[in-house]
């Protein structure tokens, strides 16, 4: 036991951050699947007064669940076939971009956070202008600093 690092006992890492993140992704995807399936069963898929796909937020939920499930399946396939890992990694990255939409899904449950996201969406032109002005100001200060100190 004297030479055994608690994280390395048993010949391999017991805990790594990538495993923890993968497990968290799996848990969130499972939660989203368990959330969407009862809604589809209760409201109906396309037909009925409150059909699941009649609301855009439900379409977003379904897209998130579908993309996260595809991400998990693709990750499992790529990691099981180590020879094809490099060719499919771009496909996995493109599917993982859709994870950002989970923030919108979770933010809908917290109205103050959702209001902030909507506000940033409405102010994006003003924010981009402010960022551009700040960038130009930073460039001017950098040029002046280079002239003074060099």
The answer to pTM > 0.75 is: no
* CA–CA–CA angle 4, 7, 12 (5° rounding): 90
Q: Which of the pair, 41 or 142, is modelled with greater confidence?
A: 142
Residue 16 burial class via C-beta count within 10 angstroms: exposed 0-12, middle 13-18, buried 19 and up: exposed
Confidence grade of residue 79 (pLDDT, cut at 50, 70, 90): low
**pLDDT at residue 5 is higher than 60:** no
The residues spanned by each domain of the chain are: 1-109, 111-150
């Amino acid at each position: 036991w004297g030479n055994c690092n608690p994280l390395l006992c048993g010949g391999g890492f017991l805990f790594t951050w990538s495993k923890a993140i993968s497990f968290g992704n799996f848990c969130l995807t499972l939660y989203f699947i368990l959330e969407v399936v009862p809604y589809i069963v209760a409201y109906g898929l396309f037909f009925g007064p409150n059909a699941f796909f009649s609301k855009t937020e439900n379409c977003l939920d379904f897209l998130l669940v579908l993309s996260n499930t595809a991400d998990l399946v693709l990750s499992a396939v790529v990691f099981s076939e180590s020879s094809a890992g490099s060719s499919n990694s771009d496909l996995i990255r493109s599917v993982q971009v859709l994870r950002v939409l989970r923030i919108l899904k979770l933010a809908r449950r917290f109205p103050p956070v959702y209001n902030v996201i909507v506000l940033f969406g409405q102010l994006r032109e003003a924010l981009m202008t402010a960022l551009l002005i700040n960038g130009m100001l930073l460039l001017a200060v950098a040029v002046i600093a280079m002239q003074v100190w060099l």
